Amino acid sequence: MTCATCGTANEAGRKFCAECGAPLVVVCPACGGPNRPAAKFCGECGTALSGGATARAGGGPATAAIAPVAERRLVSVLFADLVGFTTLSESRDPESVRELLGRYFEVASDIIGRYGGTIEKFIGDAVMAVWGAPTAHEDDAERAVRSALDLVEAVRRLGQEVDAELMLRAGVLTGEAAVTLGATNQGMVAGDLVNTASRLQSIAPPGTVLVGESTFHAASGAVAFEPAGEQLLKGRQTPAPAFRALRVMARRGGAGRSEQLEPPFVGRAPELRMLKDFHAATAAERRPRLVSIMGQGGIGKTRLVWEFQKYMDGVTEVVYWHQGRSPAYGEGISFWALAEMVRGRAGIQDSDEPGTARSKLAATLDTWIGDDAERRWLEPRLLQLLGLESAEGERPDRESLFAAWRIFFERIAERGVVVLVFEDLQWADGGLLDFIDHVMEWSRDRPLYLITMARPELLDRRPDWGAGRRSFTSLLLEPLAEADMRELLTGLVPGLPEPAVARVLGRAEGIPLYAVETVRMLLAEGRLERDKDTYRPVGDLSELSMPPSLHALIAARLDALEPAERSLLQAASVIGKTFDAAALTAVSSVDTDEVAVRLASLARRELLSREIDPRSPEQGQYGFVQGLIREVAYGTLARRDRRTLHVAAARYFETLDDEGITGVLAEHYLAAYRAQPDGPEGEAVAAQARIALRAAAERARSLGSFVQAVRYLEQALDVTTDPDEEFALRTLAGDAATYAGLSDEPTVHLQRALELARQGTDRRRTLDAIVYYAFARSRLGLVTEGVELMEPARIEYADLSGTPEFVRLDAELARSYLLLGDDEKANEVVDQALPTAEKLELSWETIGLLVTRGAALATLGRLREAIVTLVGAVSVSSSHQLPALELRARVNLSFAAAADDPKLAYATARDGYDLANHLGYRGYQYLLGNAVELAIRIGEWDWAATTLAEALVPGEETRNQTADWRDAQLRGLRGERGVKVDDVLDRIASALGDVTEAQVLMSIHEGRGELALARGEIEDGYRLSMAAFRAHIAPDSGALPRAARAAAWLGDLVALRETRQLIDPFPGRLPAAWRREVDAAIAALEGRREEATSLFLEALDRLRDLGVMYERAVVAVTAVKLLGPDIPELHAAVEEADATFRRLGAS
């Protein structure tokens, strides 16, 4: 088989390429059939293999109606009747009786349907159900008996709820009957068996289940019975034996067996080898690597990682292992898995008091973080992750949080490979997925080995998972081959009869958990016993009744439990995959001692396991052996029980007073509401859900998980009817969506919030809504639209000028004016807003206004005032730990100082870009653009080339537009072949669309102008450079001197004098040098050669003092171009220019 990725020929039967490790086959999600990776449709069933389609190719004909068919079948018939209902009906109101009967029918339907039965009919307060028709299963008799036992218990609970003596009796018979398949308006099952089952039920004592001899033999492997004696039923001439069903049987497999059943590890050797090889590569290359293990539930993801962990535990190499899981709540709890990893590294137990947890984290940071300043910076952000530190009063700072968490693991990785294992990623919140992307994008030279485990549903939420990422490998686990499954079974149970092995393999379909659960079931039934490290059959297993699917098999195991244990397991499934005894006691309302006994029993049955690792934050907790067991247990709960248990769980978690579990609390209340939303209880639960969801959103937002915050808030909106609550939720959702970078959600939520605000009477609220909406539009590049909204609002709400809301309006309006190039208005608004901002002690707004003012002053020609203002803004925002404002101040300072102190501007932009890189900030492309532009002027081209190469990682789909353009510019200046700068600019201009930001438009025109001059298209170069200057008049604009040089080269004195007039008002030492250069060019064109020489030399001296060596070299070339090569005074400058061009590699 030839690999579609690298073209290497592989021997038949391989699953992965021997050369590159790529999968050689793709498994059909519908039928499991193997297909080549390039196949679009499955060759077995026609299912689409790309784009998530599941429909069969070509659709398929409509299903034809099936005519009724009469057959003789082996069936199990259940009759059940309420005892005491007639007496109850006589003493109760008819409506309440009808409601009670309706609830009984609903419970009966739910239980019978859950066990695969079909309700034949309701007769008054009796029910008849059948198993074996229309669909037969090998364990139909067991299902019928289990269903009957559950019905008895359910009716008993129902009687307690209505304070009545209400009981149920039932009879089950198994045998042949006449069955009409496809019957309508007639009975499906008929014959003597039906009549006998009804009569058997009639003699059963209340609260019991009687079965016939055939049912007893068919179900005795899973159900405990006791003889009920010979019974003479009406219409029968001879008595027949009857048996009373007691409970679902669950016998211990033998004393001393291990708590966890560990079968042989088979069929995954290539995958394990890949994990080992990738680990070795991570250590050798010292760079991050991500392996995404994907496969359906029960396929062996956890086992594969467990084998790898055992291997890593035995090697001598230092490896730091971290593991965390994402709970199966809604769309995930914010960063739960990551918090588990930090807790594990710090040795923080779930039971630790907050003070103890803080002390342990501080000690951990002392161990791993050597720099005091970095330690102080990391600690509050890690505490925030653990829910131990409130972020109240601070703006959410997603980038710095992500950076802190990444750096924590990077510092550990300086001492050895760090492994981060994320379990159940299909349930992770979007923020955690973004953090994994962040680590892979921003961590460059640290051995971080990330392993994720997920079901294929992850791709429904994140279709581009891993796409374009460097060092990413997707590992799809396919079903095991039959030979591997046979080895697994015979390794566990030597001597298992071949018919039993064949039956298991036929049903398992390559899913190892099915085989393991079969063995666990046989253990619970007592049909296997422990023999050292294996098991051997007890009795004849050649005839084995096998459930049809893994879910059915697990359900069969749960049905085999005693009712009390089954109820306890259901309560545990509501809490989550892991839980402690205290939580289960609170939720189930079962006595503590009894819970302990039941948990030990469930652990012996290998449904639960207990965490004993002292390094784990969940030490002492119980957990489901497999996530599917929890899902099946949860699925058996009736809706009413779900609401009751979820509310109990929520109230328990409320008592813990732990900010880190706000998402858990919210999901419990929401699940309780969704289970049963009607009535006064539903309204009360909805109110609690809104409060909890809002708190969960605030928690997610404080951690920078903005998408998750939006989802929580949208869920809260689903259970909200009050306009004031809707306004608050819409505002929060829109703001979070804006920070998340979503496209449509900010407008939808904030526009609705503005509508609601205008319908009310709170004008301050309306003003805030206007600002939020304008900011959201600005973030989409639609600055003008925001200004058109804010300008009339500033007049309409002038009476609120002394409020924080009006200050925020002014701050956003001034920033928008600046982006549009209207610096006069920007500065005017800032001057009016600053006194109020200072008076109200609005630190964020005050610093932000100063940053805007600095940039506006620079453009207005008040350069030194601008530089002083911005230097102060950088310092103050840094001391206040407001990195977003510091970076914005650095952007503006690098712009303003460029005209007077290019080296300061370069250092400011370069340090700012390093800070943004360190923090993982994506939104500061201007810093990179400014730093590279200044590096080109100064002559730091090698730094620029290296930095741009890092910013443009090969193979990544998303491109940094600023880096793209500057990279093409630099390579073009160096004369590299194949560089199409105009194509790059066309692509960027197309991507920007309707953006109205002046600085962006200037960059596009400037790039085109420089390209034209490099081609020798001097007239186009002049025109485009002037267009760039007019798009955004800036004191440091390189477009204007470039236009002047083009005019000089064209000999166009009129154009040259125009550029001289335009440069004249600009302050700063760099424009002063430009003026000398232009004056020199004018003198040269007018024949005043001596004056021109003197002016050129003065310009060259000024440029050398400023350190802009490349620009100095270009001016020297212009001087020679206009005056010729025979001017002795210019020889040194020309030689120096030649050396500069050679050093830089300029063409």
C-alpha span between 535 and 530 (Å, rounded): 5
Q: Which of 176-180, 756-760, 853-857 has the lowest mean pLDDT?
A: 176-180
pLDDT for res 394: 47
- In three-state form (DSSP H/G/I as H, E/B as E, the rest C), the secondary structure along 1115-1133 is HHHHHHHHHCCCCHHHHHH
pLDDT of 89 higher than 60: yes
Contact 41, 163 (CB under 8 A): no
Q: What's residue 1091's pLDDT?
A: 95
Please check the confidence at residue 459 and state whether its pLDDT lies above 90.
Answer: no
Nearest in space to 1042 (alpha carbons), one of 1013, 1004, 1075, 1085: 1013
Least confident range from 244-258, 277-291, 750-764, 993-1007: namely 244-258
pLDDT band (50, 70, 90) for residue 833: very high
Q: Are the beta carbons of 428 and 337 closer than 8 angstroms?
A: yes
Q: Tell me which of 138 and 1034 has the higher pLDDT.
A: 138
Band of residue 989 on the pLDDT scale cut at 50, 70, 90 = low
Structure-token pair, residue 1047? 């005019």
Mean pLDDT of 610-619: 55
User: What does the alpha-carbon distance between residue 832 and residue 839 come to, in Å, rounded to a whole number?
Assistant: 12
Confidence of residue 702 (pLDDT cuts 50, 70, 90): confident
Among 3.30.70, 3.90.1170, 3.40.50, 2.60.120, name the CATH number for the domain at 270-476: 3.40.50
Is 90 exceeded by the pLDDT of residue 170?
Answer: yes
- Three-state secondary-structure class, residue 1105: helix
Mean of pLDDT values over 1044-1069: 91
What pLDDT, on a 0 to 100 scale, did the predictor assign at position 1033? 54
The burial class, CB within 10 Å (0-12 / 13-18 / 19+), for 347 is: middle
**Which H helix or E strand runs over 632?**
helix 627-635
pLDDT at 269 exceeding the cut of 60: yes
What is the rounded distance in angstroms from the CA atom of residue 299 to the CA atom of residue 302?
9
How far apart are alpha carbons 1008 and 1028 in whole angstroms?
A: 9
| pLDDT of amino acid 790 | 94
Percent composition of the chain: helix, strand, coil (DSSP 3-state, to 5): 60, 10, 30
- Per-residue pLDDT for 11 more than 70? no
What pLDDT is recorded for position 1003? 65
Give the pLDDT of residue 1093. Answer: 94
Q: Give residue-wise pLDDT tens across range 628-649.
A: 888 888 888 888 898 999 999 9
| pLDDT > 50? residue 563 | yes
Highest mean pLDDT among 219-228, 552-561, 827-836: 827-836
Identify any residues that bridge with 452 across adjacent strands, giving them in sequence order: 292, 422
Residue 434: both structure tokens together: 């973004």
Q: Are 471 and 440 in contact (CB under 8 A)?
A: yes
> pLDDT category, 816, cuts 50, 70, 90?
very high
Which pLDDT does position 329 carry in this prediction?
A: 61
Q: Are 863 and 900 in contact (CB under 8 A)?
A: yes
Tell the residue number behind the tokens 């005056």, with chain if given.
1123
Amino acid of residue 818: L
Question: What is the per-residue pLDDT for 991?
Answer: 55
**DSSP state, residue 9:** B
- pLDDT at position 35 over 90: no
pLDDT score recorded for residue 465: 87
Of 1084, 1083, 1041, the C-alpha closest to 1063 is 1041
Q: Which residue has the higher pLDDT, 140 or 1?
A: 140
Global pTM reads 0.58
Asked whether the predicted pLDDT for residue 65 surpasses 70, the reply is no
Look-up of token digits 């450079």: 1025
Note whether 1080 and 1060 are within 8 A (CB). no
pLDDT class of 1035 with cuts at 50, 70, 90 = low
Mean pLDDT confidence for 770-774: 92
1126, pLDDT greater than 90: no
Inter-residue contact 357 to 339 (CB < 8 Å): no
> To the nearest 10°, the Cα dihedral for 506, 512, 517, 520?
110
Tell me the C-alpha distance between 305 and 435, whole Å: 21
Of 28-32, 86-90, 704-708, 796-800, the one with minimum mean pLDDT is: 28-32
Q: What is the pLDDT of residue 995?
A: 45
Lowest mean pLDDT among 446-455, 668-677, 1100-1109: 668-677
pLDDT at 251: 25
- 66: confidence class by pLDDT, cuts 50, 70, 90: very low
Of 154-163, 618-627, 657-666, 834-843, the least confident: 618-627
Dihedral pair phi/psi, residue 23, rounded to 5°: -65, 140
Half-sphere exposure of 101 (CA within 13 A, CB side): 20
The yes-or-no verdict on residue 62 having pLDDT over 60 is no
- Give the per-residue pLDDT at 846: 94
| Position 92 pLDDT exceeds 90 | no
DSSP state of 194: H
Per-residue confidence (pLDDT) for residue 639, from 0 to 100:
87
Please, which residues have CB within 8 angstroms of residue 690's CB and are 6 or more apart in sequence? 716, 719, 720, 725
Amino acid identity of 264? P
Residue 1134 CA from chain centroid, whole number = 58
Measured between alpha carbons, how far is 918 from 957 in angstroms, rounded to an integer?
Answer: 22
Q: Which of 400-404, 624-628, 782-786 is least confident?
A: 624-628
Evaluate if residue 710 carries a pLDDT over 80.
Answer: yes
Residue type, 1057: R
Lowest mean pLDDT among 27-41, 58-72, 563-577, 604-618: 58-72
* pLDDT exceeds 80 at position 618: no
Maximum alpha-carbon separation in the chain: 138
Give DSSP secondary structure letters for 409-443. HHHHHTTSEEEEEEE-GGG--HHHHHHHHHHHHH-
- Ranges of beta strands (E only) in 193-238 are 209-212, 223-231
Q: Can you say whether the dihedral through the CA atoms of 832, 838, 843, 847 is positive or negative?
A: positive
Across 909-938, average pLDDT: 81
Alpha-carbon distances of 553 from 455, 508, 515, 922, rounded to whole Å: 20, 10, 10, 49
pLDDT over 70 (residue 392) = no
The Cβ of residue 315 has, within 10 Å, a number of other Cβ atoms equal to 10
Please choose, from the candidates 277, 268, 246, the residue with its C-alpha nearest in 3D space to the C-alpha of residue 21: 277
The residue with greater pLDDT, 1021 or 1089, is: 1089
CA 409 – CA 388 distance, rounded (Å): 19
For the beta sheet containing 448-454, the strands, ordered from the edge strand earlier in sequence to the opposite edge, are 319-325, 417-423, 448-454, 289-294, 472-476
Residue 61 has pLDDT above 50, yes or no: no
DSSP letters for 847-911: HHHHHHHHHHHHHTT-HHHHHHHHHHHHHHHHHTT-HHHHHHHHHHHHHHGGGT-HHHHHHHHHH
Confidence bin at 311 (pLDDT 50/70/90)? low
Q: What Rg, from alpha-carbon coordinates, does the chain have? A: 37
CA-based nearest residue to 341, from 436, 242, 440, 266? 436
User: 749-784 in b/e burial notation, b at 16+ Cβ within 10 A?
Assistant: bbbbbbebbeeeeebebbbbbbbbbbbbbbbbbbbb
| Section 54-60 average pLDDT | 33
Who wins on pLDDT, 30 or 308? 308
What pLDDT does 40 receive? 64
Average pLDDT over residues 300-323: 79
- Between 534 and 141, where is the model more confident? 141
Judge whether residue 752 has pLDDT over 50.
yes
The average pLDDT across 816-833 equals 92
Give the architecture (CATH level 2) of 69-248.
2-Layer Sandwich (3.30)
Tell me the per-residue pLDDT of 114-136, one tens digit each, with 9 for 90 and over. Answer: 677 888 888 888 899 998 887 78
Closest CA to 320 of 346, 298, 296, 349: 346
For the chain, percent of residues with pLDDT exceeding 90 = 29
Distant-in-sequence contacts of 524-530, Cβ < 8 A, 24+ apart: 524/249, 524/250, 524/251, 524/253, 524/557, 524/560, 524/605, 525/221, 525/222, 525/249, 525/251, 525/560, 526/249, 526/251, 526/253, 527/221, 528/253, 528/493, 529/253, 529/254, 530/253, 530/254, 530/256, 530/257
pLDDT class of 12 with cuts at 50, 70, 90: low
Whole-angstrom Cα distance, residue 51 to residue 60?
20
Are β-strands 167-181 and 209-212 bridged in parallel, bridged antiparallel, or unpaired? Answer: parallel
Compare 424 and 920 and report the one with higher pLDDT: 424
For the segment 216-222, the average pLDDT, to the nearest whole number, is 77
Q: What are phi and psi for residue 259, nearest 5 degrees?
A: -65, -30
Is residue 393 pLDDT above 50, yes or no?
no
